[in-house]
């Protein structure tokens, strides 16, 4: 028994020293509707405990991301299960047919968080709308000491769906209501600024809006992250 306890302690110590710890990724839904977060782990990284679930309005859930984890987090909207039991979503669908994405990526417009956790060094993160936009989101690193506060990043100045998406890029539901905005960079692989990318940049000044932007924000390795779907929007200025 003593030998077994010693072995367990040594294994646990090895995992701690080698960096196999976890960072908390808390996802909160402030949208007026249910959102189904999707999580895609990069090849070679340890997976999170889940790759997809439902968050009702006002709900939040903490996900433990292992050290040396990298991947993507986004939200799926207008999801349902058909008569054959297949799960699908109007925006952000990962095409798995289930609530869990299970390693499947999305090819529909979505607001996206890209995050890379390095248990020994520096984390990198950003918000991206290169794949398009389906609702506002924000990433707030959680640090204990103010001197180590990292940059909040977001896409929430205006709601692109309701206020700024050009008609030709708009994705609508069966009742012709806008539910997402397509970024032409997803289709044309654009690397230069255009009137379209400027619209996305105005709505998402700290986010990646085209393929020419490869910048990330950095934060110490022990940082936890708070990801909010539909944070409070900044009021639109009105001229007097």
Strands (E), the chain: 22-29, 36-41, 60-66, 70-81, 87-91, 112-116, 122-128, 137-142, 153-155, 170-172, 178-181, 217-220, 224-229
Instruction: Say how far apart CA 7 and CA 21 lie, in whole Å.
Output: 19
Helix and strand totals (H; E) in the chain: 3, 13
Helix (H, G, I), strand (E, B) or coil at 190: coil
Q: What pLDDT does residue 190 have?
A: 79
The CATH topology of domain 21-229 is Thaumatin (2.60.110)
Confidence at residue 57, expressed as pLDDT on a 0 to 100 scale: 95
Nearest to 199 by CA among 187, 215, 216, 181: 181
Look up tokens 């209501």; give the residue: 177
Q: What is the pLDDT of residue 21?
A: 53
Per-residue pLDDT, 148: 61
User: Which residues of the chain carry a pLDDT beneath 50?
Assistant: 1-20, 147, 234-240
pLDDT of residue 3: 43
- Choose among 113, 111, 105: nearest CA to 65: 113
Cβ proximity of 82 and 97 under 8 Å:
no
Look up the pTM and report it. Answer: 0.85
């Amino acid at each position: 028994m003593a030998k077994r306890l010693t072995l367990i302690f040594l294994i646990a110590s090895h995992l701690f020293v080698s960096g196999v710890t976890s960072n908390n990724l808390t996802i909160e839904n402030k949208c007026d509707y249910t959102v189904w977060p999707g999580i895609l782990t990069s090849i070679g990284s340890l997976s999170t405990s889940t790759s997809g679930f439902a968050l009702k309005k006002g709900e939040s859930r903490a996900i433990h991301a292992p050290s040396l984890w990298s991947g993507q987090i986004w939200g799926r909207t207008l999801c349902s299960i058909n008569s054959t039991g297949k799960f699908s979503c109007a925006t952000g669908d990962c095409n798995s047919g289930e609530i869990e994405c299970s390693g499947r990526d999305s090819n529909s417009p979505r607001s996206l968080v890209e995050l890379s956790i390095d248990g020994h060094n520096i984390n990198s993160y950003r918000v991206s709308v290169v794949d398009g936009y389906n609702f506002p989101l924000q990433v707030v690193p959680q640090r204990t000491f103010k001197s180590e506060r990292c940059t909040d990043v977001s896409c929430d100045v205006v709601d692109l769906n309701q206020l700024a998406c050009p008609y030709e890029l708009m994705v609508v539901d069966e009742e012709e209501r806008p539910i997402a905005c397509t970024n032409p960079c997803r289709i044309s692989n654009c690397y230069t600024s255009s009137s379209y990318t400027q619209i996305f940049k105005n709505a998402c000044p700290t986010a990646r809006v085209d393929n020419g932007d490869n910048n990330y924000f950095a934060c110490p390795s022990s940082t936890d992250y708070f990801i909010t779907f539909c944070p409070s929007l900044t009021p639109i200025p009105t001229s007097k």
